[in-house]
A and B are shown apart, each in its own frame.
Chain A
């Protein structure tokens, strides 16, 4: 039976980044992404500093830089969303395009800044997701006082995403099994595009109905075990002094980078 393993980004390796407490990792990654997004436009040295920080953590994680660069392609759609600033930022036109569009220098600077910032931020998120198991991330979210209901929803989503994807795989396989050709000539297999679209629509509809029913069954199973709307968990283990030291150290570095950026380019 094939399963949807490809969805889980976690890669098990022995490394100091993997061993670091999930709470510290989550806090640091959040602070890192905040620093990147709050850095002013065009603060290139700040971006390089942040990238250096991300790269060193990636090297420490023992997964190889190539892995991160491949995954970071995920940032591309966000970059596309920033494409209009190329044309909408006021300034001297550098390159004229048809339809009255013109690329301005400040627009280019803004676009490159956004692209670089999102690329660096996505790398930090990938670092967190590939060195921390999902249950650990959930535990960290709870420890950081995210509303418990929200953590429960995220956890259930993660749990059943795999079940639903498996269901999709089985359904696709059943369709594949019946996609045959006759022995006689003169029949073009495959049907019309419209009919294939209808079939795909029907599959999506069945999947939705089944997921809805499954959610009812899951909820009943939760009620049967005493669920009352409140998610409870065991107390979290205390953080070690070394963890606090690392957290404090990196936070100070990030605040310093942010301050330099704001003073010099803000």
Chain B
């Protein structure tokens, strides 16, 4: 069986010449959950934006569910990669929760009934069924995060990509988000600074620094290596 995510020797420099990724390789098999940790500016977000082709790759190979991420596959790939941005305010741009969760399915050209079913299912998965008619603007940060996750679940993605899901949440909202992520069966890449969450939730950890992968292994062994953590500015 092929991998869901195949990243091979990807490098990327921003237009100002600043190199953000250097020869990054990463593979995820079905249902695997991986944490991406490392200091700010390590290239985590840049890597995530490559997964659905928002940043065009400059070298290397990149495939999602066997589809090469480029050209005519981009539309298909964007439906397969559910990218949840760090700030839910960027993600939620429609007037109501329903409109936002329905965006992906409507864009895909699904029939109205199918769209409604998808929205109900997605909201049920994040336990926010009764929020459909609410205005996104007035929700709490924790609620916005859940809705933001629902907006990509409605596309039935093959892989869920989350950028800093627990940033800015109070302990209770954080706890309930962790429980939610535990319930979701999708293949998952989580970029985060929240190492206690990683330890609790995610079996495999990849450490990034200076645009390179510095370590990749079982969470238990990576997070129990104080030398490695200190070297890359991480703290348990």
Contact = CB atoms under 8 A, between A and B. Distances in A.
Nearest to B65: A183
A177 B48 CA distance: 11
Nearest to B156: A182
B106 A195 contact: yes
A101 to B, nearest CB: 45
A178 B87 contact: no
Given A178-B155, A187-B110, A206-B137, A171 B79 contact: no
Given A174-B91, A189-B109, A199-B93, A209 B75 contact: no
Given A174-B85, A199-B103, A202-B99, A182 B90 contact: no
A107 B78 CA distance: 56
Given A180-B76, A199-B94, A210 B107 contact: no
A175 B93 contact: yes
Contacts of B52: 177
Nearest to B106: A191
- Size bin of chain B's contact surface: 35 or more
Interface string B76-106: 1111110101010111111100010001101
Contact of A178 (B14, B95, B107, B136): B107
A173 to B, nearest CB: 6
Contact of B109 (A173, A174, A178, A187): A187
A167 interface: yes
B54 A178 contact: no
B78 A175 contact: no
A254 B200 CA distance: 75
Given A205-B95, A206-B137, A180 B155 contact: yes
B109 A170 contact: no
- Indicate the member of A178, A182, A191, A209 with the most B CB atoms within 10 Å: A178
A179 interface: yes
Given A170-B87, A174-B85, A175-B103, A180 B108 contact: yes
Contacts of A202: 93-95, 99
- Indicate the member of B52, B76, B95, B108 with the most A CB atoms within 10 Å: B108
B75 A178 contact: no
Contact of A170 (B15, B85, B94, B107): B85
A234 interface: no
Contacts of B110: 182, 187
B95 to A, nearest CB: 5
Contacts of B109: 181-182, 187-191
Given A167-B90, A206-B92, A189 B75 contact: yes
A233 interface: no
Contacts of B95: 202, 205-206
B102 to A, nearest CB: 10
A1 interface: yes
B186 interface: no
Contacts of B85: 170, 173-174, 177
B171 to A, nearest CB: 24
A176 interface: yes
A226 to B, nearest CB: 28
Contact of A177 (B14, B45, B78, B92): B78
Contact of A181 (B14, B75, B83, B103): B75
A173 B53 CA distance: 11
B217 to A, nearest CB: 29
A210 B89 contact: yes
27 contacts: A2-B14, A171-B93, A173-B85, A175-B103, A177-B52, A177-B83, A178-B103, A178-B104, A178-B152, A179-B78, A180-B107, A181-B75, A181-B76, A181-B78, A181-B108, A183-B76, A187-B110, A188-B109, A190-B109, A191-B107, A198-B99, A199-B94, A199-B103, A206-B89, A206-B92, A206-B93, A206-B137
Given A181-B79, A191-B109, 8 more contacts: A171-B93, A177-B83, A179-B104, A183-B76, A187-B109, A189-B109, A202-B95, A203-B93
